[in-house]
Structure formats: structure tokens, C-alpha cells
């Protein structure tokens, strides 16, 4: 056998090596990554102090790769339940494009790489914070809470809420009340956002045996919780104005969006049966995406305007 | 690998996927080198030109 032939063969017992670069990018959950990049960027822009633009880009890149790595670890561990849920059945592992071992190696490599790069090139506090976030998402949420408690989304949501704090930490080297409020906005937003999805995808979670609240506690309890969290979220969304790092314009926008969020949550709470109930859940789920984007876009726009004026 | 019957011949699709992975790894490594090079200069600042030769 020539060397050229040998390069195109694999041992008979070999498994893997079938995924394209695109399949590996899919393991990083690019849509979640884009939200992480955006919120981390807002955290960096709002943080007091200056950071060199190159360092800022490196920090964002590391946070994005770290988030992607935790997504890959999540897909490695959850391959069994992804296989039986319609929303996730086409992911690279259940689709047979990437083996679980490859996804695990990929996730661990990127985790270590992103944490070390962030620590070495930006600061070690931000690096340690990123390491903690990856651990929280991959181990605390994915391996422990997700399959054991209906509160999985509430506590696990913290992992998705840390990026703006990491962005803040990349600039200042520490965290503060202002960055904690950014965390709190995403933390309180996550349960109603996911429970609205879980209500109209309940069958999927039942099939997979994931103890999401609609499956374990019932749809009525879930609707009570969605409304309660929405009522708590609305004032927290306005908190940046009350704490003095956002203008009255932001305060009014956040207030109006918060009221709309509560109104839609009330609609979900009120409509319990049939297609109207499903439509109400879909509307809340879609609006929640706009809500979070608009709050952070508002904060970002204000910090850019302040930067130009100063 | 001892003989020709002891392996799986890669299909064209598998070869093209392997090529895409190789290119992705090369791009990633090159990006890392550039990033570390630029950040080193950024961190050293103007002092990079003010050193004993």
C-alpha cells in the first residue's frame, strides 16, 4: 500500500472522523454563542475604565469560545436525550456526524484553551470566572440539575447570565453591583423564557424524561411561576436606571417592555386550553427574546453615546 | 495497519470532511499565533522599541 493510499484508509475498528468543520461549529451552539457575545460585550462597554480594543476583542473571543465549549460538553452529556427530542435530534452527535468522544475532547480542549488565553492575555479573575461558568453549565446544570429537579432552569440559568459579569471583569478585574444587576436581568428572564418554550414542547421533555416544570409540577403551576417571575423581572429590568448608570430614556423603555412582558405572561396564565393557550406561549417566548435584546441594546446604545459625548 | 484488507477506505465525502477539519485547525492555530503576537506588542506598548540590543 502506498503512503497516499494509507492516508485515505482508517483501521477497521475506527469510529469517528466523520464530522465536517461545520458539524464541530454546530457543537458550539452558535445561536447561544451570539447571545453570549452580545451580553458580554455590553458588560464590557458599561464597565468603568478603559481597555485596549485588541484586549477587548480577545476577551470577547475567549468568552464566546468558552460558552461554545460548554455547549459542546452539554451536547456530549445529553446525546441520549437529544436523540429523542424533535428540537435536538439533528444535533451532530444524535445525527451520527460526531462521536461522543470527539465532542468531549473538543469541549475540554476549547474549555482549557479559552480559560488559559483569557487569563494570560486579559486577567486571571476573568479567566477564573469563565472557568467557573463552564463548570457551572457543564457539571452543575447539565450533569446534575437538568435531570434531577424541575428547578433546573432557575439555577442553571445562572450560567447563561454570567457573561456580562465576565465582560465587566475583563475590564475592571472584579465585579460590582452594576454588573450583578446585568446578571440578575438574564437570571430572572431565563425561567419565564424557557418555561414558555417548555409548555408548548412539553411532549418532547416527557419523552426524554427531563423533569421540566410542566412535566413534573403540571402546566398550572408552571403558569403561576411564569407570571411570578415576569412580575419580578419587570422592575429588575429598570434597575440600571434606578442605580444611575442608565438614563430616563432607558428607564422608560425598560418599564414599557417589562409591562408588555407581564401582560403576555398574564395572557399565558389566563389561557389554559387549546390553540389559544399554545399561541400565548409562543408569543411570550418570542417576545422574551426581543425583550432581552432590546434591554441590552438600549444599555449599549447609551454607553456608545456617552463615549462619543465624553 | 498490516495489510490492505485491514482498513476502511475513506469515501470522497469523508476525505472532503477531513480536509475541512484540517483547514479549520490550521486557521485556528494561525489565529492564535497572530493574537498572541499582537497582544504581546499591545501589552509591551511603546517600550517595545526602547530596549537594550
Question: Within an 8 Å CB–CB cutoff, is residue B39 touching chain A?
Answer: yes
Residues B21, A24: C-beta atoms closer than 8 Å: yes
- Residue A290's φ and ψ, nearest 5 degrees, are -65, -40
**What mean pLDDT value characterizes chain A?**
90
pLDDT band for position A148 (cuts 50, 70, 90): confident
Longest distance between any two alpha carbons in chain A, whole Å = 75
B contacts of A55 (beta carbons < 8 Å): 39, 42
Instruction: Check: CB of residue A72 under 8 Å from CB of residue A112.
Output: no
More confident: A208 or A3: A208
Give the architecture-level CATH label for domain A20-175. Answer: Orthogonal Bundle (1.10)
Choice among A16-20, A58-62, A90-94, A270-274 with the minimum mean pLDDT: A16-20
A249 is written with which cell numbers?
A: 430614556
More confident: A50 or A107: A107
- Across A205-214, average pLDDT: 80
Question: Within an 8 Å CB–CB cutoff, is residue A121 touching chain B?
Answer: yes
Neighbours of A241 (CB within 10 A): 20
Going from N- to C-terminal start, the domains of chain A cover 20-175, 177-310
**Angstrom distances, CA of residue A182 to CA of A95, A189, A297, B39:** 36, 11, 12, 28
Q: Is A11 exposed, middle or buried (0-12, 13-18, 19+ CB in 10 A)?
A: exposed
pLDDT at A4 over 60: no
Size of interface A-B (CB pairs under 8 A): 57
- Across A230-253, average pLDDT: 95
**Angstrom distance (rounded) from CA A166 to CA A156:** 17
Provide the angle, in degrees to the nearest 10, between the axes of the packed helices A53-77 and A163-172.
150
Instruction: Check: CB of residue A18 under 8 Å from CB of residue A97.
Output: yes
- Across A69-83, average pLDDT: 93
- Residue A102's φ and ψ, nearest 5 degrees, are -65, -40
Q: What is the pLDDT of residue A85?
A: 83
Question: Within an 8 Å CB–CB cutoff, is residue B9 touching chain A?
Answer: yes
Q: Which residue of B has its CA nearest to A13?
A: B7
Q: What is the pLDDT of residue B3?
A: 46
Residues B14, A18: C-beta atoms closer than 8 Å: yes
Test mutation, B11, B12, B15, B20, chain A, max A CBs within 10 A: B20
- Across A196-220, average pLDDT: 82
Test mutation, A2, A11, A21, A59, chain B, max B CBs within 10 A: A21
pLDDT at B31 over 90: yes
Instruction: Check: CB of residue A177 under 8 Å from CB of residue A156.
Output: no
The model's pLDDT over A5-46, given as tens digits with 9 standing for 90+, comes to: 555 665 555 567 788 999 999 999 998 899 899 999 999 999
Q: What is the pLDDT of residue A237?
A: 96
Q: What is the pLDDT of residue A253?
A: 97
Q: What is the pLDDT of residue A280?
A: 93
Q: What is the pLDDT of residue B29?
A: 95
pLDDT band for position B45 (cuts 50, 70, 90): confident
The model's pLDDT over A276-299, given as tens digits with 9 standing for 90+, comes to: 989 999 999 999 999 999 999 999
pLDDT at B26 over 60: yes
pLDDT at A201 over 90: no
A190 is written with which cell numbers?
A: 431565563
In A27-93, DSSP assigns E strands to: none
Going from N- to C-terminal start, the domains of chain B cover 13-47
Q: Which residue of B has its CA nearest to A21?
A: B21
DSSP helix/strand/coil, A11: strand
More confident: B35 or A208: B35
pLDDT band for position A212 (cuts 50, 70, 90): confident
Amino acid at each position: 500500500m502506498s503512503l497516499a493510499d494509507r492516508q485515505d484508509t482508517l483501521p477497521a475498528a475506527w469510529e469517528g472522523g466523520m464530522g465536517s468543520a461545520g458539524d464541530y461549529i454546530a457543537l458550539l451552539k452558535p445561536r447561544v454563542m451570539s447571545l453570549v457575545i452580545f451580553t458580554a460585550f455590553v458588560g464590557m462597554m458599561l464597565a468603568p475604565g478603559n481597555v485596549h480594543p485588541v484586549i477587548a476583542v480577545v476577551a470577547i473571543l475567549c468568552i464566546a469560545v468558552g460558552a461554545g465549549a460548554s455547549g459542546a460538553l452539554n451536547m456530549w452529556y445529553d446525546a441520549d436525550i437529544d436523540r429523542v427530542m424533535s428540537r435536538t435530534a439533528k444535533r451532530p452527535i444524535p445525527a451520527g456526524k460526531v462521536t461522543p468522544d470527539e465532542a468531549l475532547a473538543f469541549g475540554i480542549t476549547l474549555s482549557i484553551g479559552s480559560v488559559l488565553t483569557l487569563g494570560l492575555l486579559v486577567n486571571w479573575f476573568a479567566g477564573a470566572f469563565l472557568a467557573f461558568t463552564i463548570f457551572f453549565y457543564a457539571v452543575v446544570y447539565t450533569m446534575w440539575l437538568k435531570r434531577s429537579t424541575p428547578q433546573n432552569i432557575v439555577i442553571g440559568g445562572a450560567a447563561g447570565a454570567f457573561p456580562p459579569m465576565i465582560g465587566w471583569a475583563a475590564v475592571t478585574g472584579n465585579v460590582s453591583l452594576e454588573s450583578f444587576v446585568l446578571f440578575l436581568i438574564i437570571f430572572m428572564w431565563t425561567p419565564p423564557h424557557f418555561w414558555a418554550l417548555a409548555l408548548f414542547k412539553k411532549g418532547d421533555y416527557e419523552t426524554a424524561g427531563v423533569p421540566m416544570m410542566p412535566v413534573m409540577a403540571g402546566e398550572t403551576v408552571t403558569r403561576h411561576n411564569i407570571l411570578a417571575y415576569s412580575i419580578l423581572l419587570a422592575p429588575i429590568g429598570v434597575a440600571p436606571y434606578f442605580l444611575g448608570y442608565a438614563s430616563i430614556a432607558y428607564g422608560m423603555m425598560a418599564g414599557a417592555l417589562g409591562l408588555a412582558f407581564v401582560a403576555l405572561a398574564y395572557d399565558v396564565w389566563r389561557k389554559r386550553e387549546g390553540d389559544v393557550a399554545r399561541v400565548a406561549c409562543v408569543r411570550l417566548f418570542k417576545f422574551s427574546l426581543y425583550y432581552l435584546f432590546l434591554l441590552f441594546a438600549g444599555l449599549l446604545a447609551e454607553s456608545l453615546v456617552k463615549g462619543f459625548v465624553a | 495497519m498490516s495489510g490492505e484488507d485491514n482498513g476502511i477506505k475513506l469515501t470522497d465525502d469523508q476525505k472532503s470532511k477531513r480536509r475541512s477539519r484540517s483547514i479549520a485547525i490550521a486557521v485556528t492555530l494561525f489565529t492564535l499565533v497572530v493574537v498572541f503576537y499582537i497582544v504581546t506588542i499591545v501589552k509591551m506598548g511603546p517600550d517595545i522599541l526602547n530596549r537594550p540590543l
